[in-house]
Amino acid sequence: MNDRVRIDVHEHVATVTLDRADKMNAMDPAMFQALPEAAAAVAARGDVRAVVLTGSGGNFSAGIDIAGFGGQDIAGRFAVEAFALCGDTPANRYQHPTWCWYALPMPVIAAIEGVCFGAGVQVASGADVRIAAPDAKLSIMEIKWGLVPDMAMTATLRGVMPLDRLKMLAYTGQVVDGAQAAELGLVTQAVPDPLAAAQTLAAAIAGRSPDAIRATKHLCNEAFESDREEALRLEAAAQLSVMGTPNQLEAAMANLQKRAPDFKDPDAAASDAAA
């Protein structure tokens, strides 16, 4: 992994930071490579139970760094390479920096400050929860360049926000603040200190059975894209996968004994993020 992304792990929470503050964390080819590599590194760690995804220098990401792609090359050589699928995932190279967080087995919380434009919004859309500062600036900005949003947002935000509102933002490239984004459903909530809120939420998740948390994320991702009959089957399968396991029994005993649980880390789970 290159220097575009930094990973810090503390008490079962991995904080993944887009680390190109001098360019407002704009995404160049190195960043496109580093984000999926970071997700794969986190997926390979059995001790990580939740992830906080954020940007350095007070911004999440200013979006695509056109200069970083050599100007017109973004529609040339890179574009040809970008639409090839990444390993066993359904995502291509453009989509993988977003899809890798959606596919990660543990929950991901995006903490959004400053600007979050274009590719930045799409990467954040791969998180399970998005927490923004009220004065953050967000825009689905691809239309400004005569392009469409093509970094997996139509898959990751499906069912998250009303389609008409998503279309409105994508058609216009309108810049909205964090409070407006929360009203529209683009982010989960707007709070004064999104990073602190994300860390608090991640710590709460890390205190629950990691087996049940992973199974719940997988269930929600799969069941909400299925018909009702399949969703019911997936619920039962997910429950059977955790029922009676050591971590489930520990959760029950800890509650009965009114003590903090002592969960065991699951084996590092293979996921689409690792491909």
Q: What is the model's pLDDT at position 1?
A: 73
Domain co-membership, 84 together with 140? yes
Domain termination site, one of 189, 205, 221: 205
Structural domain for 221, as ranges? 209-274
Give the count of domains, the chain.
2
pLDDT per position as a tens digit, 159-181? 899 999 999 999 999 999 999 99
Q: What is the model's pLDDT at position 269?
A: 44
pLDDT at 113 over 70: yes
Domain co-membership, 144 together with 261? no
Domain co-membership, 198 together with 213? no
Give the whole-angstrom CA distance, residue 112 versus residue 53.
Answer: 9
6 backbone dihedrals φ, ψ, rounded to 5°: -120, 140
Tokens 């058609």 map to which residue? Answer: 171
pLDDT per position as a tens digit, 249-258? 999 999 999 9
Tell me which residue of 154, 128, 275, 131 sits closest to 214, measured CA to CA. 128
User: Please, which pLDDT band fits residue 272 given cuts at 50, 70 and 90?
Assistant: very low
The CATH number of the domain holding residue 261 is: 1.10.12.10
Q: What is the model's pLDDT at position 227?
A: 86
Q: What is the model's pLDDT at position 271?
A: 44
pLDDT at 61 over 70: yes
Q: Where are the beta strands (DSSP E) in the chain?
A: 5-10, 13-18, 50-55, 108-112, 115-117, 129-132, 137-139, 176-177, 189-190
Give the whole-angstrom CA distance, residue 243 versus residue 62.
Answer: 44
Transcribe 189-214 into DSSP letters.
Answer: EE-S-HHHHHHHHHHHHHTS-HHHHH
Average pLDDT rounded to a whole number, residues 12-27: 97
Q: What is the model's pLDDT at position 270?
A: 42
pLDDT per position as a tens digit, 220-251? 999 988 888 988 888 899 999 999 999 999 99
Domain co-membership, 80 together with 168? yes
- Better-predicted residue by pLDDT, 119 or 145: 119
Q: Mean of the per-residue pLDDT values for the chain? A: 91
Domain termination site, one of 173, 205, 237: 205
pLDDT per position as a tens digit, 125-146? 999 999 999 999 999 999 998 8
- In single-letter form, the type of residue at position 207 comes to G
User: Please, which pLDDT band fits residue 153 given cuts at 50, 70 and 90?
Assistant: very high
Provide the β-strand partners of residue 108: 51
Q: What is the model's pLDDT at position 228?
A: 87
pLDDT at 72 over 80: no
pTM here is 0.90
The CATH number of the domain holding residue 28 is: 3.90.226.10
User: Within 13 Å, how many C-alpha atoms sit on residue 80's CB side?
Assistant: 4
- In single-letter form, the type of residue at position 190 comes to A
Q: What is the model's pLDDT at position 176?
A: 98
Average pLDDT rounded to a whole number, residues 190-215: 98
Tell me which residue of 213, 273, 272, 268 sits closest to 44, measured CA to CA. 268
Average pLDDT rounded to a whole number, residues 33-45: 96
Domain co-membership, 152 together with 253? no
Q: What is the model's pLDDT at position 71?
A: 53
Domain co-membership, 138 together with 77? yes
Q: What is the model's pLDDT at position 110?
A: 98
Task: Tell me the two tokens of residue 58.
Answer: 């007070």
